[in-house]
Amino acid sequence: MTDIRPYPLSNLHEASGDHHDALSALLDDDTMYRITSLIDRESFPATGLPSGTWAGARMLEVGAGAGSVAQKMRYLVGETGRVVALDLHPAIEPDGNLDVVRLDLLSDEPLPEGPFHLIHARLTLGHLPPRKAITARLAERLAPGGWLCLEDFRARREHIAVSGEGADVVEEFQRTVGRKVFDAHGTDPGWAPSIHGVLTGLGLTNVDTKTFSSYWGGGNAGARFLTAIHAQTYDKVLAAGMAKERLDRVPEIMADPATLIHGHEVFSVVGQRA
Ligand SMILES: C[S@@+](CC[C@H](N)C(=O)[O-])C[C@H]1O[C@@H](n2cnc3c(N)ncnc32)[C@H](O)[C@@H]1O
């Protein structure tokens, strides 16, 4: 493999819109529940925000993609707050209380100034090898009392079949794309379970990890996500040795109502600056 730049997908790919739509449908409810639940914590007043509301807060969405989370943050912070959406290739436009920053997290370019009451990154740092250093740089941008929320997949690559005759084909795809494409481009499958320790090690307090996952199949959001990954990695998975006749069947199998597989587990980790 000659192209070894981290993150083997691209927001410039034609399947990127489907990819981001599926991620939004699959994960945004849990993400927003997680973020809004923080205002119920005894430690929330440390943010300095009035009466346990995110109204007026400054939030940074890292690896914003098409911006579904950033758009929802805008409602939380209201007109007096500010959301900054950061990405290598942002697929979202600035608007009202939303700023958009094009920035390569692998570069030395300084992060947006902040300070931020909430910094959130989902399915982004796991792909980028200097993930611990980037996490430390993000933590430096927190306001006193501000929260860092990192969410990443612990990819499931074995024993994923729940039902459906084609599930073994999907399992081979998941194993091949996971090991030979994502891991080969620097994705760390051990990152998600290690985030808790990284945030604690940075001196953040009230560190808390929750995990969640769902069945993917029958054309649901998980199935559409996997199908968009298939479209973006097709050539690489073929080159890695998966037989074309099996690889070609993945979208049709994932759309089949009989197919169900275990989706990847999400680790959602929060920590607060003292
Ligand atoms: C898997 S997508 C996740 C998008 C969104 N956070 C979500 O969960 O729906 C990863 C995002 O990270 C961005 N990204 C990848 N490498 C990056 C880099 N070096 N600097 C900044 N953003 C990057 C991609 O452009 C993409 O939008």
CB 206 within 8 A of CB 270: yes
Identify the domain containing residue 77 by its residue range.
16-157+188-213+265-272
| Mean pLDDT taken over the chain | 95
Q: Is 10 a domain residue?
A: no
Q: How far is the CA of 124 from the centre of ligand 1 (A)?
A: 5
Indicate whether 145 belongs to any domain: yes
**pLDDT at residue 3 in the model:** 54
227: amino acid identity, one letter = T
For residue 197, is it within any domain? Answer: yes
Distance 65 CA to ligand 1 centre (A): 6
Name which residue sits closest to atom 1 of ligand 1, judged by CA.
123
Whether 41 shows a pLDDT value over 70: the answer reads yes
The answer to whether residue 206 sits within a structural domain is yes
- 152 vs 50, 124, 181, 190, CA distance in Å? 30, 7, 17, 10
Instruction: Report CA-CA distances (Å) from 206 to 131, 147, 247.
Output: 21, 9, 44
Indicate which atom in ligand 1 lies nearest the CA of residue 20. 9
Best of 5, 103, 124 for a ligand 1 pocket test (most atoms within 8 Å of beta carbon): 124
Tokens of 268: 């959602």
Mutation pick for ligand 1 pocket among 7, 62, 134, 232 (CB with most ligand atoms within 8 Å): 7
- Rounded distance from Cα 135 to ligand 1 centre (Å): 14
Q: Is residue 43 part of a domain?
A: yes
- Whether residue 243 lies inside any domain: the answer is no
Are the C-beta atoms of 247 and 231 separated by less than 8 Å?
A: no
Give 1's pLDDT tier (boundaries 50, 70, 90). very low
Residue 179 burial class via C-beta count within 10 angstroms: exposed 0-12, middle 13-18, buried 19 and up: middle
Separation CA 66–CA 87 (nearest Å): 9
pLDDT single digits (tens) 56-75 = 999 999 999 999 999 999 99
For residue 211, the SS3 value is strand
Residue 170 lies in a domain: no
Q: Note the maximum CA span of the chain.
A: 59
Length of the chain, in residues: 274
Q: What is the pLDDT of residue 86?
A: 98
Give the distance (Å) from ligand 1 centre to CA of residue 163: 31
The residues with which 98 forms a beta bridge, in sequence order, are 83, 95
Whether 105 is in a domain gets the answer yes
Which residue has the CA at smallest separation from atom 10 of ligand 1?
124
Over the stretch 137-165, which tens digit does the pLDDT of each residue have? Answer: 999 999 999 999 999 999 998 899 999 99
Ligand 1 contacts (CB < 6 A) are 7, 11, 20, 23, 63, 65, 87-89, 104-106, 122-124, 127-128
Do the strands 265-272 and 142-154 form a parallel or antiparallel pair, or are they unpaired? Answer: antiparallel
**Domains of the chain: total:** 1
What SS3 state is found at 242?
Answer: coil
Q: Which of 124, 117, 176, 130 is nearest to 20 (CA)?
A: 124
What is the CA(150)–ligand 1 centre distance, in A? 13
Distance 249 CA to ligand 1 centre (A): 27
Closest C-alpha to ligand 1, atom 26: 65
Tell which atom from ligand 1 comes closest to the C-alpha of 31.
8
The sign of the torsion formed by the CA atoms of 92, 49, 115, 29 equals negative
Q: Which residue in 186, 190, 266, 185 sits closest to 233, CA to CA? A: 185
Q: Calculate the CA dihedral of residues 242, 227, 269, 38 and round it to 10 degrees.
A: 180
Q: What is the CATH number of the domain that holds 59?
A: 3.40.50.150
- Of 1-10, 32-41, 259-268, the poorest mean pLDDT is in 1-10
The pLDDT, as a whole number, for residue 2 is: 45
Closest approach atom of ligand 1 to CA 89: 25
